[in-house]
Chain A
Amino acid sequence: MNVEPRTARPTPTRPRKLLWLIIALTVLIALAFVLTPAWLIQPFRPQTPAGLSVSYTLRRWSPPLTLSAVIVVLLCAVWLWRGARWWRKGALVLALALACGLAWLARQNHFEWMFNPLARPAYARANEASFVADTDMVLAVNVNGGAAAYPVRQMAYHHVVADTVGGVPLVATY
């Protein structure tokens, strides 16, 4: 039998407990920053001006905040790693992975996952556009002699299409 003496492992002391607490709080704050705007700005739920304002602020600050969270969790984890039991190491890895995941999410626009933007809009001549039915609705602009049409069925998906018509940079929205 090989029983290690209890003193071989450092027992959790006050500073170690504090570091665990810092990790937990950091991850929770980062989670709140990333999930709150996504929850407040759900389609098919009403929004309030205050809710939008909170969402804007959280979205604005979540990239630097989540990056700081990754750094804080990493530093705490490095400090705690030596001498930690295997399941505590697992918890450290999980916390770090969660912080990294949140830092990535804070830099994503999930609305563009649902509705892919049109990276390079392409156009057809009016008489060659076989992809539009005669009865389909189009948004039509006429600027300085330039005429362009944006079929509503495409616009209802992309929602935002940038273009320049008659020399004027514009955005078609629907």
Chain B
Amino acid sequence: MRVITKIGEWFDHRLQLAAPIREAAEHPVPRNTASWFYVFGSAALTVFLLQLVTGILLALIYVPSGGEAWSSLQALNHGVTIGWFIRAMHGWGSNFMVAIVLIHMAQVFLFGAHKYPRELTWIIGVFLLLMTLGMAFTGQVMRFDQDAYWGLGIGASIASRVPIVGPAVVKLMLGGPIIAGATLSRFFALHVFVIPGMLIAFVGLHVLMVLKLGINEWPMPGRTVKRATYEAQYHALTKSEGAPFVPYAIWKDMFFAAFVVLAIAACAYYFGPFGPTGQPDPTIIQTAPKPDYFFLWLYALLSLLPPSLETPFLLIGPPLVIVGLILLPFLSGEGEKSWKRRPIAVVTVLMIAITLGTFTRLAQFTPWSPRMSAWSGDPVPDQYIHGTTALERQGALVFQVKQCRNCHSLGNIGGQRGPALDSVAVRLTQDQLIRQVIQGGGNMPAYGNNLSPAETTALVAFLETLHPATQSPARDAARDLVLSESKPKSATQP
């Protein structure tokens, strides 16, 4: 024991780090900040360190080459002992990291920690969020499979829309004229060197400022922040009811950090690694690329925005959000901290969470995408064929063969791009059906060029049978009259 103390003293005589470390560890924090609400920052740091470790382990095997990345991932999954688990840890760690950073941000905002004098801590936090998302996106590219390949195409298509410099930005991003080996190499450099380097520096600053300025005290309704008096009040608070950070508050951080690491390991163990999906071979087009979980909301947004709004939204939206987040502590740098007195802040967080959550949920079953195999895989349900005439059956065949099912469902089977057609005859008259099929409109292609008159007649005859037994199909009374006048002898009863 004495030897260890001696060795320790020898080092500290030269390093002189023990005193500042002890001072940092034992700095007084307000007692009520030793709360389970205050554990997300340290948890994010823990997951970041875990990502560094698993990332370095993956780099022992992974080859960032367009020709070999995919097979090196296969080797990690199947050939290298525990390789699948390390990949799974890194993938799940990424999801946990984004989630924890978002929770941390919401908590900090709701507790008013972005207010004076912690504005810069918040701003650096905003950059840390952007870097975390940057790591998530570049990491998806590292998993160089079909999703990564087409995801890069989506990134390039978005970047290309920047006025004037768009095409140059695309070539800079891809490292050449197409998505290829150079693209993967430069995303590797970003994912492994550039962004992590910046992350380490910014995380250091972020933590340093928490130490220098003190952790945000538990917000009390009515205890408002004023620039002139805040710091004196805070110091008085830490003096009167402060406690040393170690061990008074840190044990909760430690428990939660260990819990998060175990949760990541459990997810990795039970759910396994993400992909890789098919090879990054652009000639295999039987694929429906999807982004990773935390970009699904963007995928939904890009499907649902009107075409004319898309480019402005993509180019103006993100800078606006980032500038807004950076300006936030200057716009509301003083005043109430407690969420109990900040209803707009609470509603804003809820709105953002609900919006992102809804878009994410939508993107998980992509109702806007045609179901490419529905026309050949989903038969017309029996009840719609029962007791139909030959013409109507012919129409049902046309309905299948012309891929109507890819966008329209019958009996809840088929695509959801267009409306379900189970009761279309109630909504549209015969004339309207013919017009809609031939001319399209309302986001439906026109089929006039691809249907013969006989096919159209059969198809519309079939569509006219699609109504509930208790409801009669829509009809145009005026047209009935015209028909009855031109053919006085035929029956006109509907």
Please determine whether chains A and B interact with each other in the same assembly: no
**A positions within 8 Å CB-CB of B:** none
